[in-house]
Chain A
């Protein structure tokens, strides 16, 4: 059977590029989501600290 070389090159090229693109996209989204979560969690923590400080000063 004759090999369809244009198909081979298509699979080869689209495969390599496709895997890198998908993984790169996943990298960006993972970085983005972790940063957003970090920001939200840090904000939550600083809000808790502020609340604690206001409770302490109210007691004083």
Chain B
């Protein structure tokens, strides 16, 4: 009897606990608090936080290669590139590209924000990260979770947890991070600019857009194919209006299911051994830098475009070129309406916002082409 009791005690996880495990529990509880109480990106932060908690319980072997339950989710979902493209399918089925089709110039604003990403790449290399790690950190500036996960899993899988949590955390903090940058880089007069009314977009134009975009991007940057093809397929489902069931399945059931596996797998990569080192903490700092620089680059490109445009654009919409949809656009609208209460910028900002999604995928594909 005593032997059984002794055996039970010594085979339990208690005796294998480390200080690092407990620090990770603390991080997990903080993320759970942010997700549940503050509702910061709860759909992802909550499974990520739970993933961190359970993978840091000793002797569970949940991430044991070829054996652990979550390792299978991670291996088949992320390492084999299944989950991020499926998330993009759902995203495509939800996104309205109408404002972008009505004003295609805003595609350049989506590109502008990605310029910031390359400055961060440069900065990360200066701070001692290798090129693959620097690219994985830089993509945080694109403010696109699935693309960050996709690129990091290919270039620097050991940083997956840190870059993913950093990307989702900063996306949730858009309303806090972006407004000061917007106000710093624009004048009161610029923020008051009222833009020309958007032209109506026909159904045929909406249907043609995903086809033209998929063909163009995949022909020019083939590594973008997995993400852009799914994004545009989802959008074609939506705009064709003939496959309502597929549209709903993509944007609801399928997306919700893979979100659970994605969050859990990403969280489970954050073991004490991989996460608790100064390099990872530095990633959070560089992620913030990436986000600020990308926002600034979008604003600057909008200001430069105004030098050549007859119908001026409100430069604030350049900040929506980071692809945190639709939070960045809402933030632009809020700052714009503070300067001019009659200015309704939301629809105008949605153009660069969805262009940012495409831009981030293109930027990631170019990084992959050069460094993969």
Q: Which residues of A contact B (CB under 8 A)?
A: 1, 3-4, 7-8, 10-12, 14-16, 18-20, 22-27, 29-31, 33-34, 37-38, 41
Of the candidates A18, A26, A37, A38, the one whose C-beta lies within 8 Å of that of B358 is: A26
**How long is the Cα–Cα vector from A24 to B355 in the complex, in angstroms?**
11
Task: Determine whether the beta carbon of B216 is less than 8 Å from that of A26.
Answer: yes
CB pair B202–A37 under 8 Å, yes or no, is yes
Majority SS at the chain B contact face? helix
Q: Which of A7, A19, A24 contacts B363 (CB 8 A)?
A: A19
Contact A22 B121 (CB under 8 A): no
Q: How far is the CB of B158 from chain A (nearest CB, A)?
A: 15
Partner of B131, one of A7, A31, A34, A41: A7
Complex formed: what's the CA distance from A15 to B208 in Å? 28
Contact A19 B359 (CB under 8 A): yes
For chain B, the bracket of interface size reads 35 or more
B122–A30 touching, CB < 8 Å? no
Question: Do residues B101 and A22 form an inter-chain contact, with CB atoms below 8 A?
Answer: no
Q: Which residues of B contact A31 (CB under 8 A)?
A: 104
Q: With an 8 A cutoff between CB atoms, is B110 at the interface? A: yes
What are the 5 closest A-B residue pairs judged by CB atoms, nearest first?
A: A23-B111, A30-B104, A27-B107, A15-B118, A27-B104
Contact B366 A14 (CB under 8 A): yes
Option from B108, B205, B367 in Cβ contact (under 8 Å) with A33: B205
Chain B residues with Cβ below 8 Å from A15 are: 117-118, 121, 363, 366-367, 370
Does A22 contact B220, Cβ atoms closer than 8 Å? yes
Whether A29 and B111, one on each chain, are in contact in the complex, defined by CB atoms closer than 8 angstroms, is no
Contact of A24 among B111, B201, B212 (CB under 8 A): B111
Inter-subunit contact B216/A23 (CB<8 Å): no
B184 at the interface (CB under 8 A from A): no
